[in-house]
Chains A and B, each alone.
Chain A
Amino acid sequence: MIRTTHFRILIIAILISVMGILSIYSSNYQKEDKKWQLIYKRQIYWVILGLFFFFIMYNLNYRRLWDATYFLYLLSALLLLLVFILGAVRLGAQRWLRIAWFNFQPSEIVKLIVIIFLSRYFSAKSSSNVTLTLNNAGIFRAIILPFFFVAIPMVLIIEQPDLGSSAVVLFIFIAMLYISGVKLKYLTIIFLLSLLFLPILWHILRDYQKERLLVFLNPNIDPLGAGYTIIQSKIAIGSGGFLGKGWLSGTQGQLHFLPESHTDFIFATFTEEWGFLGAITLLILYYFLIKQGIRIAQKTSDNFARLLAFGISLMLATQVFINIAMTIGLAPVVGLPLPLMSYGGSSTLVTYISLGILANIDKQRTVF
């Protein structure tokens, strides 16, 4: 197992998680509240639990997911509906389900389930011959029908509201259309249509979301309100320099100028203390992680597994990109965690589960 691709995935994931835990510790150890100080310990538990799930998925044949697709899809819709009924409101959004002692964020797992669903949908073979149904499907079967299935969870997520996750879901959908070989003509149509819908989307957005978009264009229009986080985040990253201020010495994170310093903005906390060198190291680790996923996808002959592996890799890539771009002020602020780094059970578990699936795909290929 040592020299295999999936082992490398595991090592990289653990490395990133350790970096995350160090930053979570650093951003909170100076808070007065004991509960906050010990939050890094909870993240350690999450990572251990995540590893446990990783090994479960690693040993569970991914084909089981094919079988469970519709069940999973229904489960995700149910969870999202439950959020509306029972969800805990935190930070102005209703995204969490309180399960026993922890807050579960269904939108995290929904992303994975959408990938599984789309993988199955696009890899379906027609009963008459062995070619993929998609190859000669019309626009309805190729785009409109799958979009309908994706739109249901997406709308529910938008309504939470969680713009970041729904953007990720949308992006996954488009990326998987692309990968699965849908005709470029259809993709162009989709692109043009969405351009048409953009003004309508603006009206659907809530005020604070509009504010965030405006602030993204110019953070200084509201430096103490909506623009505050992004300004502080840029200050944190910008003041890090080449080698950073050193672990436990970042003033922006330590003294709590930076909000969400252990969750969505953990990259700023990390870069402030570890500098450009740390940021590059982290980005390279992410790159290799995603690259491994794509390599697994390329090597796999099973269409379902191939799409699944692509989907998971692209989901990671999208999240990493959106999160880091927003921390450095190159994307609007949407609540989205940095996979493996940010504090949070749901995100950590789902990421490890996804990586477990990747590892399993790799293992199955070697077995066959």
Chain B
Amino acid sequence: MRIKIINYALIFIFIFLIFGIFNLEFMQGKKFKDLSNKNCIRLIPQQGSRGKILDRLGNILVDNYLSYDVIILPKDKEDIDKALIELSGILGVSLNDLKDTFKKGFVAPLSPITVAENIDIKKVFTLEELKSDMGGVIIQPHPLRYYPYGRLACHVMGYLNEIDRWRLTKLADYGYKTKDVVGFGGVEEKYDYFLRQDEGGLSVEVDHKGRFMRVIGFKSPKNGKDLLLSLDLRIQKIVEDSLQDKKGSVILMDPYSGEILAMASSPDFDLSAFVKKTSQPSISRIFNNPEAPLINRAISSSYPAGSIFKLIVATAALETGKINLNTEFICKGSISIGKQEFSCWNTHNQQNLMQAIPHSCNVFFYRTGLLLGAQVIHDYAVKYAFARATAIDLPYETNGFIPSPLWRRVSKFKSWFDGDTANLAIGQGEVLVTPLQVARMMAVYANKGNLVTPYIVKTIDGKDVSRYQKKIIRLNIKESNLNYINQALRNTVLYPSGTASVLSDLAVSVAGKTGSAQVSGRQPHGWFVGFFPFEKPKFVICVFLENGGAGFYSCVIAKQIIKMMYDQGLID
């Protein structure tokens, strides 16, 4: 009897053991397999190079160079301490700093940790010789951004930085991970997906002390795709040299295609400050600068349009037949509308449209505006695609704003007065536009009636993408009316009394319009927008100076730019 029980007990314990093993291997097998791999397999990521950024002629604007990082495969605390002490000797970094970086670099318990970045090539050689004595120390080449032209077109390019939480949540589905370096602003951000390199790496087997045993697999990293921009390096240089440190922006655009040939914004910032992690103070200086150098003033800020807006009013008036070329208004220096006195900047006496545009006569446009009515002006402005982003392939474009009586009533519960219409007619009041919108408006006159979509990236990895971006809308404006306004714009330069007469002695025939947008309590914003050569327009230019004084100063910069372009044979 008792022997029988012993026999049963024996069978029972063996079944118990088999069940225990079964449980580990099959019920929980997957978990333990993963843990086993985690134990002994380390991934050492290897970065490919991020795509280069070229100008339209193939000059490299943004390049890469190889930097060397020191990476530790963690496991044994003692080993790591030993390695850190040795490293601190070789790298000349204090042990505490090194330990700090080590702690900060921690991502997951067993993933490799970067302790030093961008180390000197001589130290690389020293370390390569010594690393076999230091458990788990690896030297890894790592491509970093290099900017051969320094700050050139920094706003268009954008800088690189470690991904932030906001972007990470947005982009996690596209395979972005913490500590990824991504583009911030400019094409670096907009085209990050294409520029981005594919992370490859070695998977290596390590032993229980984290020491390298053998290579299990290798996935070669893939380089990012190169972008070819529509920017012309030569023009961009001229533009930035002319703008210098004046606050504002300059855009040069092909009026037919919408290709951006140059886009500058000032103040600018040092792109390479973001490459080296050691330059933390200079980064915070950029972020904390009250002048906001990171803002691309060509697209990301909107300003009152000022007299530039008179072109919209003029076009609307001609198109609707409210005025014709013979319509004349008398400017006595001011006009009273309602109870308010609206002034002109000069006393122009008798003015028709062909005179009022060159002279930028306010009174003429007050009267014209009142004839048209605010809603029509608003509608024409919207037709010219103001108050909405141009859809240029750059991030953080702002919409701008055009007020209307309806908007006023709906959102502010206020009435619209004739005085508001007068203000609207000269682009003051609540009108807000971006320099790029203004440039696009001018392109409509230069190309005789087509609204283009500006773009900056021509090809990705050699594949032409401009046809996806080239959306051209025919605006159905009578060609005769466009010709009138173009002639008036030319007159603005040609007339000795024209506001842009300073451009008349250029070898290139320029047409354009100035604007001085009043800002309460500060210098006005200066605008100049035009196109050249007049007979066969090839360039639209928009110069905007933030609080830069009257439009005259913008004309001076435009003149300088056009002259230098001509001198360098970039126009013909």
Contact = CB atoms under 8 A, between A and B. Distances in A.
Interface of A is mostly: helix
Interface residues of A, number: 41
A239 B39 CA distance: 11
A296 to B, nearest CB: 12
Contact of B18 (A179, A181, A280): A280
B32 A235 contact: yes
Contact of A287 (B10, B20, B22): B10
Contacts, number: 111
B35 interface: yes
Nearest to A275: B25
Given A178-B2, A251-B205, A234 B10 contact: no
Contacts of A29: none
Interface stretch (A4-12, A324-332, A354-362): A324-332
A294 interface: yes
B465 interface: no
Given A181-B2, A321-B17, A241 B33 contact: yes
Contacts of B24: 234, 237-238, 328-329
B36 interface: yes
A255 B25 contact: no
Contacts of B289: none
A255 B33 contact: no
Nearest to B33: A239
Interface in A310-332: 310, 314, 317, 321, 324-325, 328-330
B31 interface: yes
Contact of A241 (B10, B29, B206): B29
B36 A252 contact: yes
A255 B207 contact: yes
Contacts of A252: 36, 39-40
A257 B16 CA distance: 27
A310 B10 CA distance: 12
Contacts of A181: 2
Contact of B25 (A178, A242, A286, A297): A242
Contacts of B29: 238-239, 241
B213 interface: yes
B410 interface: no
B21 A276 contact: yes
B263 to A, nearest CB: 56
A239 B36 CA distance: 6
A350 interface: no
Contacts of B520: none
B14 interface: yes
B288 interface: no
Given A235-B35, A287-B10, A287-B14, A240 B25 contact: yes
A236 B25 contact: no
A237 B33 contact: no
Interface in A258-284: 271, 275-276, 279-280, 283
A290 interface: yes
Contact of A328 (B17, B31, B208): B17
Interface residues of B, number: 34
B206 to A, nearest CB: 7
A325 B21 CA distance: 9
B28 interface: yes
Given A255-B208, A255-B213, A298 B3 contact: yes
A125 interface: no
Contact of B40 (A257, A290, A330): A257
B272 to A, nearest CB: 43
B171 to A, nearest CB: 34
Interface in A330-346: 330
A181 B3 CA distance: 10
B36 A251 contact: yes
B558 to A, nearest CB: 70
B13 A317 contact: yes
CB-based closest 6 A-B pairs: A238-B32, A239-B36, A255-B207, A238-B24, A251-B40, A256-B208
Given A257-B39, A280-B21, A317-B10, 13 more contacts: A175-B6, A179-B6, A238-B31, A239-B29, A239-B32, A251-B39, A255-B39, A255-B205, A275-B25, A283-B14, A287-B11, A321-B13, A325-B17
28 contacts: A178-B6, A235-B32, A237-B21, A237-B25, A238-B29, A238-B35, A238-B36, A239-B32, A239-B33, A241-B25, A242-B26, A251-B39, A251-B205, A252-B39, A252-B40, A256-B208, A257-B208, A271-B25, A275-B25, A279-B18, A280-B18, A290-B10, A294-B6, A317-B13, A321-B17, A328-B17, A328-B21, A330-B16
Interface of B: 2-3, 6-7, 10-11, 13-14, 16-18, 20-26, 28-29, 31-33, 35-37, 39-40, 205-209, 213
